[in-house]
Structure 1
Amino acid sequence: MDSDHSDNESNSYLEDDSIDMNDENHGGENGNLDRLPLIPTDFTDIHEAIQNFSAVFDARYGGLHPRFYSGTLRDAIDESFGISRRAPAIERKPFALYLHNDDAVAANIFAQNVLCSETASAILGCQYTLWAWDVTQDDNRKKFNDWVAELGLTDVADVLRIHPKEDYPLLLLITKERSNYSVANVCQGFDNATDCVEKIMQALDQYQAIKNKEEVEERGRLEREQIRQEQVTAYEESKAIDKARQQEQERKKQEEIAEQQRFYEEEERKLQKMAQLSSSLPAEPSGNDCITIRFRFPSGEQKIRRFNKDDKLKWLSTYVESLGYDMETHRIWNSDFPKKEISSFDATKTFAELKWPLREQVTVEEK
C-alpha cells in the first residue's frame, strides 16, 4: 500500500490539516450549499449532467480519480455486465455506484481521500464500471430512486433505505449473477482508504468467483451449441445429399423417359418407312420363270423373295430395307467368288440386263 494511505494517515485524515472541513474552498455543510452543484436540478440531458458532475468534481478534488461513465444508469449497468452485447464472462466487470451528497459531513473527505486515492482510483478505473450521481437535491434524489425502481435494483434500494445522509457519500459495489443484482459491499463516508480498497477487492473477488462459474457454464453451453450446430449441419448436409440424389434419380428417370420416347418415335418412323417401302415393292411373281433370291440376315434369319426378270435391281435393296436393314448401316453381298457388293452394280438396270442368275443367295451384313 502507498505511504499516502498508511494506517496512521488513514486513522487521522479527519484532522490532517483540517482538509475539507475548515478550508474556505472545502467547507463544512454551509460551504457545500454555497458551492456549484455537481448536478444541477434543471438538467435536460443525462450525458450533460454526468459531464457536469465530472467537470465540477475535477475542479473540487483534482483529476486523479476513476472515469465516471457518461450515460444513463441503465446504460452503465449494461456496459459493465455486457448485457445487450452478450459479452463473455471474461469481459464483464462489477459495477461501482458512487452517490454524493454535499450535505453530508464526509462529502469532501471521502471524495478527496478515498475516491481520489491512487490505489482506489486505479482499481475502480481498470476493474469496475463507475457511475456517479449527486443526491444532494431532492429532485435529483427522487430521479435516482425512480431509476433504481425502474431497473428492479431492489438490493440497491434496500441498502439506501438503511443509510441516512450522515453515512454519505456511498460507494456501492454491485455484482450480477444471472439476472440478479447484489450489493457485494458498501463503502461509506467515514471509511478510510485502506478499508475501502479492501472492500473494493473483496467485491472484485466475489464477482470473479461468479464469473468463473459463469465461464464454466458458458463453455458448457458453447460446447452444447457447437454439438447442436454440428448436428444441424450434418442433418442439412444429409438432406442436401438426399435431395441431390433424388434430383439425380429424377434426372435419370426423365432422361430414360425421353430416351424411350425417342426410341418409340424412331421405331414408329422406322416401321412407317418399312411399311412404305414394302408397299412400293413390285408384286412377287408366282411362276417359275423368275429370279429367286435367298437372303441371309445378320440375325441368322433367312428369307426367300422372287422378282420378275424385268424388275430393276434397286428393288432388291428396297426389299432388304423394308425388313428394317437400312442401307446406310448395312451392305449386301452376292455369292460370286470373289463376292461382290450389290451397290457396285447399276441399280437402275433390270435383272435380265444384268444377266442375274435365276437362283441367287445374298448376304446382308452390317457395315
Structure 2
Amino acid sequence: MLGKRKNNLKIAGRPSGGTPRKSRRVELLARKGLMPSDPKDDEQATTHFKREFRSRFGPNCPKFLIGSLENAVWCAGGRHLEDEKLLAIYLHHDGSVNGDRFSIQLLCSEMAVDIFSRDYMVFGWDFTDETNRQRFLTSAATILDRSTIYDVSRAHKDRYPMLLIVRCRNSRCRVQKRFEGNTTRGDFIETLTLEADYAQQERKVTRENESQRAIRQSILDLQKAEYEESLRADREKEKQRLEKETELKRISDCGVRIGNLKMENRKQDKDKLKYRKMLPKEPTSSKQSKKLRFRKPTGDGYLMRSFSPANKLQDILNFTASEGFPQSKYRILALCPSREISSMTPTRPLSAFGLAQQETLIIEEK
C-alpha cells in the first residue's frame, strides 16, 4: 500500500535522457506549500490546504476542518461533554525533509486515520510561507500557551511537520502532546491511542463528577425549597398570630370603650336623675312664668320649659344638666343682650337677668 501511495506523490523522479536526478533538498525548496500566499481569509486558506494535501498524499487522509483556528477549538470543545473531542493541529512545512514521510507513514496511515475519525478533530495549516506562519501564530496566541507558541515559532523547519494534541473545554485549551517530524510510526500510533483513551477517561470522570454535582445540587435545591416552604409557613403562622393578637386587642379595646361608655352613660343617667329631682315644679299660670327655649349644641332641636321669675339661675343650670348638658361641659348664652348667663351668680332669681317672657337661650359646648 505504501508503495502505491508513493506513485501519487509529486516527488521528482529520474528524468529521461540520463539527466542526473535533482537532490531532495532542491526539490523541497522548489515547493510552494499547501496554501496560497496571503489568502483572503482562513476559510480560503484551509480549503486550499485540504485540497492540496489530498492531491499530494491521496484521499485516505484525516478530514481537515475548514475555517479559523477559533472555529476548530469550538468544534472540538463541543456544546456538551459527549460531543467533545481532542483537537489535532497539523503544522506543515514544505521545506522539511520529514514532510512526506510524516504525512504518508504517520498522518495518513490507516490506523491513524481511523483514530482521527473516531476521537479527534483535525485542523491543518502550512508554515512554508512566512505570512501564513505569522497569521497562525497571531491567531494561536489567544488559544495556546506561551511555551508552545514560543517553541513552535522558533523551531527549525526540519522539526516540522508538527502535530499538536490539544484538549479543549469551555474555551480553554491545553496542549497534551506535541509530535515532530522525526517521530516514529510506533510512537505516533501508540501516543494517539493513549491520548484518546486518557481523554475518554477524563470525560468519564468529568461526567461522574458532574452527575454527583447534579445530585448534590438537587439535594441542596430540595433542602432550600423545604427550608423556604418551612420559612413561608412560619411567616404565615406568625402573620396569623399577629392578626389574631391585633383582633383580640381590638376587641378588648372595643370592650373597654363600650364598658367605659356604659359607665359614662350610667353616670350621666344618674346625674340626670339627680338634677331632675332638684328641679322646681313648672308654674301652672302662664301670665308671669318665663317660657324658655334652649337650642341644643347638637343642632337637632330645642328644649322647652317654663320657669317662675322667682326661680334661681341654678334651676336653669339643673334643667340643662338633667337633659345631658352639665355646666362642667357646657355654657348657656343669652342673645339680647349677648352674654353668658351660666357664669353669673347661680343663686340670683331669673327676674334679675332681664329675660323676656319668651326667651331663646343657646347651649354651647365649652
TM-score by length of 1: 0.55
Corresponding residue number in structure 1 for 2:54: 58
Checking the alignment, whether the CA contact within 8 Å between 1:29 and 1:102 is kept in structure 2 is: no
The alignment partner of 1:188 has SS state of coil
Aligned pairs (5 A) from 1:73-152: 73-82=69-78, 85=79, 87-88=80-81, 90-152=82-144
Checking the alignment, whether the CA contact within 8 Å between 1:81 and 1:92 is kept in structure 2 is: yes
Instruction: Count how many residue pairs are aligned between Structure 1 and Structure 2.
Output: 267
Checking the alignment, whether the CA contact within 8 Å between 1:171 and 1:187 is kept in structure 2 is: yes
The residue type equivalent to 1:77 in the other structure is V
Corresponding residue number in structure 2 for 1:21: 11
Distance between the aligned counterparts of 1:106 and 1:254, measured in 2? 92
Tell me whether 1:184 sits opposite 2:174 in the alignment.
no
Corresponding residue number in structure 2 for 1:281: none
Checking the alignment, whether the CA contact within 8 Å between 1:114 and 1:120 is kept in structure 2 is: yes
Corresponding residue number in structure 2 for 1:40: 36
Cα deviation digits, residues 110-158 of structure 1 (max 9, x gap): 3344333332112112201211111111111122223333334234235
Cα distance change, pair 241–91 in 1 and its aligned pair in 2 (3 A): farther
Distance between the aligned counterparts of 1:259 and 1:41, measured in 2? 95
Tell me whether 1:197 sits opposite 2:193 in the alignment.
no
The residue type equivalent to 1:198 in the other structure is E
- Of 249-258 and 70-79, deviating more is 249-258
Gaps of 5+ in 1: 272-367
TM-score by length of 2: 0.55
Distance between the aligned counterparts of 1:125 and 1:67, measured in 2? 7
Corresponding residue number in structure 2 for 1:156: 148
The alignment partner of 2:141 has SS state of helix
Tell me which of 39, 63, 67 is aligned to 1:67: 63
Checking the alignment, whether the CA contact within 8 Å between 1:94 and 1:127 is kept in structure 2 is: yes
Distance between the aligned counterparts of 1:36 and 1:158, measured in 2? 25
Cα distance change, pair 162–211 in 1 and its aligned pair in 2 (3 A): farther
* Aligned-pair CA distance for 1:252: 5.6
* Aligned-pair CA distance for 1:201: 0.8
Corresponding residue number in structure 1 for 2:214: 222
Tell me which of 231, 235, 250 is aligned to 2:227: 235
* Aligned-pair CA distance for 1:31: 5.6
The residue type equivalent to 2:121 in the other structure is T
Cα distance change, pair 249–161 in 1 and its aligned pair in 2 (3 A): same
Aligned pairs (5 A) from 1:342-353: none
The residue type equivalent to 1:135 in the other structure is F
Checking the alignment, whether the CA contact within 8 Å between 1:177 and 1:210 is kept in structure 2 is: no
Distance between the aligned counterparts of 2:153 and 2:48, measured in 1? 27
Distance between the aligned counterparts of 2:49 and 2:37, measured in 1? 12
The alignment partner of 1:150 has SS state of coil
Distance between the aligned counterparts of 2:254 and 2:122, measured in 1? 82
Distance between the aligned counterparts of 2:10 and 2:182, measured in 1? 13
Gaps of 5+ in 2: 15-21, 264-366
Checking the alignment, whether the CA contact within 8 Å between 2:76 and 2:121 is kept in structure 1 is: yes
The alignment partner of 2:91 has SS state of strand
Distance between the aligned counterparts of 1:162 and 1:81, measured in 2? 28
- Of 136-145 and 116-125, deviating more is 116-125
- Of 196-205 and 110-119, deviating more is 110-119
Distance between the aligned counterparts of 1:242 and 1:23, measured in 2? 91
Distance between the aligned counterparts of 2:9 and 2:52, measured in 1? 18
Corresponding residue number in structure 2 for 1:333: none
Task: State the identity %.
Answer: 25
The alignment partner of 1:123 has SS state of helix
Cα distance change, pair 210–263 in 1 and its aligned pair in 2 (3 A): same
* Aligned-pair CA distance for 1:99: 0.5
Please tell me whether Structure 1 or Structure 2 has the larger radius of gyration of its CA atoms: 2
Distance between the aligned counterparts of 2:212 and 2:75, measured in 1? 24
Cα deviation digits, residues 303-323 of structure 1 (max 9, x gap): xxxxxxxxxxxxxxxxxxxxx
Distance between the aligned counterparts of 2:160 and 2:180, measured in 1? 9
Cα distance change, pair 235–96 in 1 and its aligned pair in 2 (3 A): same
Checking the alignment, whether the CA contact within 8 Å between 1:175 and 1:181 is kept in structure 2 is: yes
Checking the alignment, whether the CA contact within 8 Å between 1:36 and 1:56 is kept in structure 2 is: no
Checking the alignment, whether the CA contact within 8 Å between 1:99 and 1:132 is kept in structure 2 is: yes
The alignment partner of 2:117 has SS state of helix
The residue type equivalent to 1:234 in the other structure is E
The residue type equivalent to 1:188 in the other structure is G
The alignment partner of 2:231 has SS state of helix
